[in-house]
Amino acid sequence: MAIKTGGRIPASTVNMLNDGIEPISTQPFFAGRKILLFAVPGAFTPTCSNQHLPGYVQHLDDFERRNVTVACMAVNDAFVMRAWADSQQVPESLVMLADGNGAFTRALGMEMDGSGFGMGHRARRFALYAEDGVVRILHLEAPGEFRVSSAEAMLQALDDMKL
């Protein structure tokens, strides 16, 4: 069952690459914070690399002024996520989360089957905003689209909430 507005972030583990692979428990990560999590089907893929991630990099200051931490997630390993971040010149304050086995993606109910494109199971393209682990905004893209999960769309949604 897919996460919905008002739902709690499920317990799972994702990874980051710092001095080594660092496991991150999702519930403590989201606790007591304002987090904007956006997910992409894959690092280095065209829309993700040309539009989705760059939009959040460009508008990172706008989120930070609202005291919102931005995190990007993909069903890729931590090494790929770090290489992608480096290639895109992602500031360290934008958190790159690797959901290598797709466990968190499945727990959110946001998995898609990209086997027809040779990609296996991946995250659907979406963005959510959570406060203290509770989803306040959820924008899920229709297959093949990139509109509602963009940085600009999420900034507008936060403005509509008066945040």
Give the active site residue among 37, 43, 48, 110. 48
| Catalytic-residue membership of 72 | no
Tell me how far apart the alpha carbons of residues 138 and 135 are, in angstroms, rounded to a whole number.
Answer: 7
| Contact predicate 10/107, CB 8 Å | yes
> What are the residues whose beta carbons fall under 8 Å from the beta carbon of 70, sequence distance 6 or more?
35, 36, 38, 56, 60, 63, 64, 93, 94, 95
> Tokens in use for 158?
């936060």
Tell me the backbone φ, ψ of residue 2, rounded to 5 degrees.
-75, 145
List the catalytic residues.
48
